[in-house]
């Protein structure tokens, strides 16, 4: 696939597809993996009755199914996926399996306690280890590399943020083994970036191949007796049933795991905003380029700018690199054409070449994007109401690769009535406020995106921390 190409709309969801699934291959670098077969399987053909119906075949849905099937193999579990498993963010992301919880400890503590916030972070750290355990134990080949995460500071403002970030972790009782400050030499040893003043490193992150993970999980599910119905769109979720065009799936429990697509379901338009994150990937780089770039342990990487960028060294020696900056689309609209924004893709290529000059004239072979779910308070949530049987998890803001596993484990414990430590974590059963109606939503979100982009440019030029950006982060609870 070449950058900028647009998939053909052939299904009822206007997404690339044909009977062999080859259209899905163009969705991202990860989809374009030769051994992955995207042929949709087992579409629902009529009404069914199950114990648990899960709407959405991404990590949230599949991890929930996995832990339910493990806890009680007699449960009849069905996953209902509108396109194919891994169609959404779970197949397209940056592959950072990180312990970053999208809400800050300060925000988590404000709604619970200092101890609650610490437990939340420790649960996230454990989650990266848990995913590794499952992947290795179940034999899911997804290029998992527990190399940690290096973030470099490339101007004085970013360096000040790096130091206060590490000091912040110390205040919360997290030591060097959680996150440590790197000198310029130490940071450059890990990532051969330009203008490095220092950085931070945490071991609580791994790089992985997102689509191999999500497709591997689906295969595992089928082996565990979970029915995975692809090309099965749910039109409405009500207590006791998930409605589809070919019949209702009745179930004691219905789990909503639709993340960035949630606003398309009736009654949920203002629940979660779909924001686009876009990515590019290079051809495999040469050994001498890698000698200069580093990332010898396949550390994931970024710098300390406000508008987040993220990258990884793939198992086949490419750079996969992404960032925010794409616009929010009026009315929380989601369209395949929004996955590809030539302006943002060009910006990402420029940012990567500036960050890592050794990339030089390497060809960029792939460009794609996808939507992630942002709740109004930037705080993910999950819930299970025993009375109605309705459950949900989501709003991961763009840090869902690991958080979805914690969500799946916790939902399984709640549904099976397991009194584990997980069911008392602070993110449970809290409700994010609704987003504002349009046009406020459109104006507000795009104004903040522009503000952060401007703050990054000003900081790069002057080295002085942007007061406006800091004020906005505070407003967002950071």
Ligand X SMILES: Cc1cc2nc3c(=O)[nH]c(=O)nc-3n(C[C@H](O)[C@H](O)[C@H](O)COP(=O)(O)OP(=O)(O)OC[C@H]3O[C@@H](n4cnc5c(N)ncnc54)[C@H](O)[C@@H]3O)c2cc1C
Applying CB under 6 A, the residues found at the interface with ligand X are 55-61, 80-83, 87-90, 92-96, 98, 233-234, 257-261, 265, 277, 279, 310, 322, 369-372, 394, 396, 398-402, 404
Q: Which two tokens stand for residue 135?
A: 């992947």
Residue 350 class from Cβ within 10 Å (0-12 exposed, 13-18 middle, 19+ buried)? exposed
Q: Are 344 and 313 in contact (CB under 8 A)?
A: no
Return the number of the residue (284 or 336) whose C-beta is nearest ligand X. Answer: 336
Sign of dihedral through CA atoms 20, 22, 28, 32? positive
Smallest separation (angstroms) from ligand X to the CB of 466: 25
Cα radius of gyration (the chain): 21
What is the phi/psi pair of residue 152, to 5°? Answer: -100, 150
- Contact 312/300 with Cβ under 8 angstroms? yes
Output the six-digit token pair for 390: 């309705």
Shortest distance in whole angstroms from residue 278 CB to ligand X:
6
The CA distance from 397 to 213, in Å, is: 20
Give phi and psi for 369, each to the nearest 5: -170, 180
Shortest reach from residue 173's CB to ligand X, in Å: 24
Taking the C-alpha atoms of residue 297 and residue 421, their distance in angstroms, rounded to an integer, is 33
Complex with ligand X: residue 158 or 404, whichever CB lies closer: 404
CB of 477 to ligand X, least distance (A): 19
User: Minimal CB distance to ligand X: which residue?
Assistant: 400
Judged by beta carbon, residue 294 or residue 373, the one nearer ligand X is 373
- Between the two ends of the chain, the Cα-to-Cα distance in Å is 39
State the Cα–Cα distance between residues 135 and 320, nearest whole angstrom. 22
DSSP state of 385: E
Nearer to ligand X, 37 or 176 (CB): 37
Provide, rounded to whole angstroms, the least separation between the CB of residue 146 and ligand X.
14
**Shortest Å, Cβ 463 to ligand X:** 28
Q: Is 44 helix (H, G, I), strand (E, B) or coil?
A: coil
Nearest CA among 89, 40, 32, 83 for reference residue 60? 89
351: Cα separation from own chain's centroid: 21
User: Minimal distance in Å, beta carbon 273 to ligand X?
Assistant: 13
Cβ at position 171, least distance to ligand X in Å: 25
Beta carbon of residue 57, minimum distance to ligand X (angstroms, whole number): 5
Compute the Cα dihedral for 442, 270, 405, 69 and give only its sign. Answer: negative
Q: Which is nearer to ligand X, 234 or 469 (CB)?
A: 234
Angle between helices 156-171 and 440-462 (to 10 degrees): 110
Give the residue among 92, 34, 360 at the shortest CA–CA distance from 211: 92
Question: Which is closer to ligand X, CB of 40 or CB of 57?
Answer: 57
In whole angstroms, what is the distance from residue 366 CA to residue 282 CA?
7
CA distances to 35, 342, 374 from 90, in Å: 18, 23, 15
Q: Which is nearer to ligand X, 82 or 215 (CB)?
A: 82
Write down the least CB distance from residue 195 to ligand X, Å.
24
């Amino acid at each position: 696939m070449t950058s900028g190409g647009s998939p053909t709309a052939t299904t009822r969801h206007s997404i690339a597809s044909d009977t062999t699934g080859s259209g899905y291959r163009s969705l991202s670098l990860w989809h374009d993996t030769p051994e992955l077969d995207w042929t949709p399987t087992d579409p629902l053909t009529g009404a069914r009755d199950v114990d648990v119906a899960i709407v959405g075949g991404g990590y949230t849905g599949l991890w929930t199914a996995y832990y339910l099937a493990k806890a009680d193999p007699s449960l009849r579990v069905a996953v209902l996926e509108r396109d194919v498993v891994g169609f959404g963010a779970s197949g397209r992301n940056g592959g950072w399996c990180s312990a970053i919880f999208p809400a800050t400890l300060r925000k988590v503590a404000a709604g619970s306690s200092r101890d609650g916030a610490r437990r939340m972070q420790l649960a996230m750290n454990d989650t990266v280890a848990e995913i590794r355990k499952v992947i290795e134990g179940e034999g899911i080949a997804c290029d998992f590399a527990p190399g940690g995460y290096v973030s470099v500071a490339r101007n004085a403002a970013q360096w000040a943020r790096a130091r206060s970030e590490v000091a912040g972790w110390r205040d919360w009782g997290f030591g060097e083994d959680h996150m440590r400050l790197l000198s310029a030499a130490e940071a450059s040893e890990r990532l051969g970036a330009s203008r490095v003043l220092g950085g931070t490193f945490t071991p609580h992150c791994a790089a992985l191949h997102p689509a191999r993970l999500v497709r591997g999980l689906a295969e595992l599910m089928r082996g565990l007796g979970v029915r995975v119905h692809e090309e099965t769109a749910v039109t409405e979720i009500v207590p006791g049933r998930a409605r589809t065009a070919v019949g209702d799936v009745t179930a004691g429990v219905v789990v909503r795991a639709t993340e960035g697509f949630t606003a398309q379901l009736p009654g949920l338009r203002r629940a979660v905003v779909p924001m686009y994150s876009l990515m590019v990937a290079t051809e495999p780089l040469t050994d001498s380029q890698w000698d200069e770039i580093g990332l010898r342990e396949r550390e994931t990487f970024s710098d300390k700018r406000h508008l987040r960028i993220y990258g990884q060294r793939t198992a086949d020696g490419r750079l996969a690199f992404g960032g925010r900056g794409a616009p929010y689309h009026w009315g929380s609209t989601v369209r395949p054409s929004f996955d590809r924004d030539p302006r943002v893709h060009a910006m990402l290529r420029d940012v990567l070449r500036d960050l890592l000059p050794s990339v030089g004239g390497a060809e960029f072979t792939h460009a794609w994007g996808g939507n992630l779910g942002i709740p109004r308070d930037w705080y993910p949530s999950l819930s299970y109401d025993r009375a109605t049987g309705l459950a949900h998890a989501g709003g991961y803001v763009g840090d869902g690769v690991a958080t979805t596993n914690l969500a799946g484990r916790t939902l399984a414990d709640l549904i099976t009535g397991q009194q584990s430590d997980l069911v008392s974590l602070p993110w449970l059963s809290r409700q994010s406020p609704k987003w504002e109606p349009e046009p406020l939503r459109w104006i507000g979100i795009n104004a903040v995106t522009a503000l952060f982009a401007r703050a990054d440019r000003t900081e790069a030029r002057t080295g002085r921390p942007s007061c406006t950006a800091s004020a906005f982060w505070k407003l967002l609870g950071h």
